[in-house]
Amino acid sequence: MDGFPTIRALSGRFPFYGKLTRHIAACTAMMSASCQPNAADRSMFDDMTTPIRFACFAFLAASIGLGQDPPAASESAETGTSNDLFVMFGSDVVRPSLAPKANYNIGLGHTFKFLSKDPFGDEITFAYTYENGGSHGFLHTDFGSHTEALGLMKNFAIPKIKRVTGYTWIQGGITSMTGNPLVQNRYYDGEALGAIIHFNDHSSIWIQETYNKIVSIPWYTTASIGYTRSW
């Protein structure tokens, strides 16, 4: 260090250098003091650091999630999956009296790209159906059938028509008939043929005719119409 002038020597030769050095030292001291935790305030704020971070992260994640648009049709095609939430209302035509009875249906469907060449279906569904099983009335009676069914739906295009596509739907499940002293469970089978009217990539109307067969009960048909939300 013998060959280098000291800070004191530089300050004596260049007065402004001494002022600059003192100014830098003062600023450094102020920054150091501001960055040190205050012992009096530590108990109040330190414990809040982690909750605040989590709250900010949750708020940011929620904002990003809610702000994102649904994936476009091309993106869905690339991922090979799509989802349908459907709510349908219809009327059974029971036999032998041919009386109309209300039929309510709600369910979820998920389309798999690797099933696109399957002749029976490319969309797996799960649906719940309530049907009025009473001898009178239309909307509801104490006698009803409640069906939970798994299904396989095949979507297909109709030549020269872009707004409308068709589908077949095979379902199988368990029907519970209520209103009697004991609940009766029976196997359910249903086959449907329907059409989908597309408003856009996310909204559509489904119209279908279904053949239904419950063990120990004569077969019957159902005409239904409903709204579907896709994403």
Taking only the tens place, the pLDDT of each residue in 81-123 is 589 999 999 999 887 778 899 999 999 999 988 887 888 898 9
Residues 94 and 53 grouped into a single domain: no
pLDDT band at 13 (very low <50, low <70, confident <90, very high): low
Residues 28 and 84 occupy one common structural domain: no
pLDDT score at 61: 45
Q: How far apart, in whole angstroms, are the C-alpha atoms of residue 12 and residue 74? A: 75
What digits encode the pLDDT tens for the residues 46-92?
A: 444 444 444 444 444 444 344 444 444 444 444 445 899 999 999 99
Q: List pLDDT tens digits, range 177-207.
A: 999 899 999 999 999 999 999 999 899 999 9
On whether residue 188 sits in a domain, the answer given is yes
pLDDT at 129 over 90: yes
Domain boundary among 15, 38, 67: 67
* Sequential DSSP letters for 1-62: -TTS--HHHHHHH-HHHHHHHHHHHHHHHHHHHHHSPPHHHHHHHGGGHHHHHHHHHHHHHH
Domain range for 224 is 73-230
| Residue 34, pLDDT score | 45
The residue that leads in pLDDT, 52 or 212, is 212
Q: Is the dihedral of CA 81, 82, 86, 92 positive or negative?
A: negative
Verify that 117 and 209 share a domain, yes or no. Answer: yes
Does residue 78 lie within any of the structural domains? yes
